[in-house]
Structure 1
Amino acid sequence: MKIISMIPARYSATRFPGKLMQDLEGKTVISRTYEAAVATNLFDDVLVVTDSAVIYDEIVNNGGKAIMSIKEHDCGSDRIAEAVENLDVDIVINVQGDEPFTDSESLRKLIEVFKEDENKNIDLASLMVHITKIEEINSPNTVKVIVDKANFALYFSRSVIPFPRDKSVDVKYYKHKGVYAFRKDALLDFYHLPMLSLEASEKLEQLRYLEYGKRIKMVETDVQGVEIDTPEDLERAKKLWK
């Protein structure tokens, strides 16, 4: 299988505009993320795909590889699909541009999912982290996922799922980490299918896959990392980097 990593990178962000170009201990956030993906040595290629000339120049001028989006896109999967449509590739790993702490072990687990899936029953795979802090479980900025017995995703939500009506039941809560591994065909299907109501309501692109019957295999990881969504997250990332 030919496996590549693509990093979707928008300059504008609702909560923290320009966050990917912020300094993270001497290099920009997007450069740190790109270098982390390359350093795993798991991919045949690593590319940033962006709508921003500023981000494109940042990567290319520092020796990396980047692609400019031709169209406007609502989500990272659409941006990646456009970029890979004419590429000879089997599996595409989507690493979020605001996650500079992406680790090789978690990505290796995602790749193994497809190597073991001989019948091609899995359309895409993604990561989840067990969470216990009440404020994180309740936060709409934390995307939760619930899974079946085989760890296939049942639903993703910004709300608390499952709702703890019976507090005596021992329920584990999982945070969805926005790192995806796609079969190319599933990614292109997504690109050509219109957004439906669940995705539009929650503003979570992964719901489009579920609404159209795609199977998402979730892989548990212990690596929490830091997703840089706010200036406060950036300060936490700086401390962690040190």
Structure 2
Amino acid sequence: MSSLIIIPARMASTRLPGKPLADIAGAPMIVHVARRASESEAGDVAVATDSMEVAVAVQKAGFTAIMTRTDHQSGSDRIFEALGSLDPDGRFERIINLQGDLPTIAPEDIRAVAGPLSDPQVDIATLGVEIRDEAEKTNPNVVKIVGAPLDSDSSRLRALYFTRATAPWGDGPLYHHVGIYAYRRAALQRFVSLPPSVLETRERLEQLRALEAGMRIDAQIVASVPLGVDTPEDLERARQRLALKTDT
């Protein structure tokens, strides 16, 4: 199946305003994310943004940028609008929603996220990482996947729930959810047409909207959590990591 990677990017971040254009090792953060997507060879790459500044920076780096409305409530809504402009004829069957604040993500993890869609019963795919740090198990900012291992694939979970609580109870691994998604095109269209759900609103996790509507989400388990850039401290860590990569 052909894939399209769309990276939503907006300038109005409350904790780190203008973060898509934050300089990291001589390039804007959004360009680093587009490079990781291109290196993954998982599909064509485009950035969906509400900022002309971001679009210009992306295009200057040789990538496609699509202007979208400023009033979108989520990245999923933004990428769906961009999809209509990029692919009105429906050539792409899988859409990967890659967050624009993951400049150090491993390209192989971007490639891995679409793996569960090889199962025709799966509507949406995402990533998970086993939690090794005890403090993360009780941290509400670390979203956990409550999932059932598949007999046919020990590296994949069928997601039953996502929560900020410590779950599931009892002995056994806990899994950190990495918020990257691969959608079947029809699943993305259905998802953005649904109103916010009760559990989504309560947990502040939009993927629960899909589960409440009976859609199936599977999580591919990968080795490490990518660094998400939400604060000035995160930005400095990303600069240090990519400076080391550039030096080597």
Normalised to the residue count of structure 2, the TM-score between the two structures is 0.88
* Secondary structure, counterpart of 1:201 in structure 2: helix
* TM superposition shift of 1:206: 0.9
Correspondent of 1:155 among 158, 161, 166: 161
Shift of 1:197: 1.5
1:141 to partner: Cα distance = 1.9
> In 1, Cα distance between the equivalents of 2:240 and 2:191?
37
Question: Cα RMSD (Å) of the superposition?
Answer: 1.6
Q: Using the alignment, how far apart are the partners of 2:137 and 2:10 within structure 1?
A: 27
The aligned residue for residue 112 of structure 1 is 115
Partner of 2:213: 212
Partner amino acid, structure 2, of 1:48? V
Whether contact under 8 Å (1:152, 1:215) holds in the other structure is yes
Q: Which runs of 5+ in 1 are unaligned?
A: 164-168
SS in 2 for 1:97: coil
* CA distance in structure 1 between the aligned counterparts of 2:239 and 2:93, rounded to whole angstroms: 35
**Corresponding residue pairs, total:** 233
Number of the residue aligned with 1:35: 35
- 1:39-188 alignment to 2 at 5 Å? 39-43=39-43, 45-70=44-69, 72-85=71-84, 86=88, 87-114=90-117, 116-117=118-119, 120-150=120-150, 151-163=157-169, 169-188=170-189
CA contact (8 A) 1:78 1:190 kept: no
Question: In 1, distance between residues paired with 2:23 and 2:68?
Answer: 24
The 8 Å contact of residues 41 and 111 in structure 2, kept in 1 or not, is answered as no
Task: Determine if contact 2:104/2:241 at 8 Å carries over to the other structure.
Answer: no
Could you tell me which amino acid in structure 2 is paired with residue 90 of structure 1?
E
Alpha-carbon separation, structure 2, partners of 1:51 and 1:212: 29
What's the offset of the Cα at 1:24? 1.2
Partner of 2:154: none
Q: TM-score, normalised by structure 1?
A: 0.90
Q: Which moved more, 1:211-220 or 1:58-67?
A: 58-67
